[in-house]
Amino acid sequence: MDSSRIEKLDDLYRKYAKGLYGYLLRLSGSPSIAEDMVQETFLRATVSLSFYRHEDVKPWLFRIARNIYIDEWRRRQRWKWVPFFDREEMTSPFGTPEQEAIAGETARELEGLLGLLPENYRTIIYLREYEGFSYSELEEALGLTSAQVKVQLHRARQKLKQLGAKEEFLND
């Protein structure tokens, strides 16, 4: 490999590895599996980098990562619902303890609801809301048309609202 290609791959890794790890951790629920899938993502990207002709690499890498996750899921031949976030509650150092308690409870409830969504809905909400993907980046990363992205995002949000309403009804 020539030095310019190595530098390009190094730059890509430094720029996107952390985001890919977070995404794959939320999908898989396992830090070690997420690390392995990040490595596999960059391995596949290295092999096919010379064929890549698009300007924005981020959606391409996330698409590779998603495909690796799906391959891993198929390989295991079982579906395991995992929490959307596998981390301890993070609280802000600002505000009152009451505000922090309410915010923490809301975040836990939202994480629980997100974990109930099908993988495709969790993925599109995560990429849009947490990674800040644009609609065009979502199209490229998920292999969907513009209309399909909008419909799937709308349906994911509606399903999340329905689950929230159902949860609130059950808790009353």
130 plus 160 within the same structural domain = yes
User: CB 34: neighbour CB atoms within 10 A?
Assistant: 22
Has residue 21 been placed in a domain?
Answer: yes
75 plus 140 within the same structural domain = no
How many domains does the chain contain in total?
A: 2
Check residue 17 and give its pLDDT: 93
50 plus 109 within the same structural domain = no
CA distances from residue 105 to 90, 93, 156 in whole angstroms, order as listed: 11, 16, 22
pLDDT in tens, the chain (172 residues): 577 777 888 888 999 999 999 999 888 888 888 999 999 999 998 888 777 776 688 898 999 999 999 888 777 765 555 555 544 444 434 445 566 666 667 767 777 788 888 889 989 998 898 888 999 999 999 999 999 999 999 999 999 888 888 766 555 4
| Nearest partner of 123 among 78, 65, 44, judged by Cα | 65
As a whole number of Å, the end-to-end CA separation of the chain is 63
**Residue 146 token pair:** 């513009």
59 plus 109 within the same structural domain = no
Could you tell me the CATH number of the domain that includes residue 68?
1.10.1740.10
6 plus 70 within the same structural domain = yes
Check residue 164 and give its pLDDT: 81
75 plus 46 within the same structural domain = yes
Query: pLDDT tens digits for 8-22?
Result: 888 889 999 999 999
76 plus 99 within the same structural domain = no
Check residue 104 and give its pLDDT: 66
**Residue 133 token pair:** 């993907």
101, amino acid identity: A
| CA 118 – CA 141 distance, rounded (Å) | 17
CA 26 to centroid of chain Cα atoms? 6
| CA 22 – CA 54 distance, rounded (Å) | 24
Of 57, 80, 103, which closes a domain?
Answer: 80
| CA 46 – CA 69 distance, rounded (Å) | 18
Check residue 77 and give its pLDDT: 61
Of 80, 108, 132, which closes a domain?
Answer: 80
30 plus 98 within the same structural domain = no
Check residue 153 and give its pLDDT: 95
| Nearest partner of 63 among 152, 139, 159, judged by Cα | 139
Domain around 55:
1-80
Could you tell me the CATH number of the domain that includes residue 169?
1.10.10.10
Has residue 89 been placed in a domain?
Answer: no
107 plus 132 within the same structural domain = yes
8 plus 53 within the same structural domain = yes
